[in-house]
Amino acid sequence: MAKLTLDELRRRREQARKSIYLRDGEFRGKVIVHMGTCGIAAGARAIVATFLEELEKSGRTDILVTTSGCAGLCSKEPMATVEMLDSPPVKYVLLTPEKVRRIFAEHILGGVAVAEYALGIGSERAG
């Protein structure tokens, strides 16, 4: 590798920052894919993969994709909850990779929830 100039070092820093964002970043949004046995059987793994693909394409480093257990509505799996900063969480049901791509573009990048795929707005009350 050729030796770095000052500018190249700065560029390299910007690039390197992106690769460690999971450890060191601040996040504006989070996707939680429900991965109970029911979710996995209904295809939740493909849903995670599609969210990650879309995230990769977008180049965004302020969105997290995570998983959690069964959401309790097994007949509507695969499900995912999208939580964006400053707006209530939205639960999406009966997901397919196509639906995920639209949710990613419209809700996560565009800030407008895709009402027709949503179960409802908000989360259960913690009791």
Partner 1 sequence: MAARRIELMLCTGTGCVAGGAFRIKKVLEEEIARHGLQSEISIVPTGCNGFCGQGPLLVVMPEKIFYGWLKTEDIPFLVQEHFLKGRPVKKLMFTPPERKEPIPLLSDIPFFKKQMLIVLRNKGIIDPEKIDDYIARDGYAALEKVLTSMTPEEVIEEIIKSGLRGRGGAGFPTGIKWKVCRNEPKTPKYVICNCDEGDPGAYMDRSVLESDPHSVIEGQTIAAYAIGASHGYIYVRTEYPLAIKRMQKAIEQAREYGLLGENILGTGFSFDLEIREGSGAFVCGEETSLIHSIEGKSPEPRQRPPFPAQVGIWGCPTVINNVETLATVPVIINRGAEWFSKIGTETSKGTKIFSLVGKINNTGLIEVPMGITLREIIYEIGGGIPGNRKFKAVQTGGPSGGCIPASLIDLPIDYESLTQAGSMMGSGGMIVMDEDTCMVDVAKFFIQFTNDESCGKCTTCRDGSAALLEVLTRITDGEGQEGDIEFLEELAWAIKDASMCGLGTTLPNPVLTTIRYFREEYEAHIREKRCPAKVCKNLIAYWIDPQLCQACLICKRECPAEAIYGEKHIVHVIDQSKCTKCGTCLEVCPPRFGAVKKLSGEPVPPVERGMKVERKKKTATPLQEQSSA
> Would you give the binding string for partner 1 spanning residues 50-79, x where CB under 8 A is met?
--xx-xx-------xxxxxx----------
Question: What's the closest the beta carbon of residue 123 comes to partner 1, in angstroms?
Answer: 15
* Distance separating alpha carbons of residues 55 and 81, to the nearest angstrom: 16
What token pair was written down for 54? 């879309």
Among 40, 42, 80, 93, binds partner 1 (CB under 8 A): 40
Question: According to the binding rule CB under 8 A, does residue 112 interact with partner 1?
Answer: no
Closest of 109, 111, 3, 33 to residue 12, by C-alpha = 3
Hey, is 61 helix, strand or coil?
A: coil
Query: Residue 23, Cα to own-chain centre: how many angstroms?
Result: 16
* Distance separating alpha carbons of residues 15 and 21, to the nearest angstrom: 10
> Would you give the binding string for partner 1 spanning residues 18-37, x where CB under 8 A is met?
-xx-xxxx-x----xxxxxx
Type and span of the H or E element at 31: strand 29-34
Question: What's the closest the beta carbon of residue 122 comes to partner 1, in angstroms?
Answer: 20
Question: What's the closest the beta carbon of residue 13 comes to partner 1, in angstroms?
Answer: 5
What token pair was written down for 56? 């990769």
Contact positions vs partner 1 (CB under 8 A)? 1-6, 9-10, 12-13, 15-17, 19-20, 22-25, 27, 32-37, 40, 45, 48-49, 52-53, 55-56, 64-69
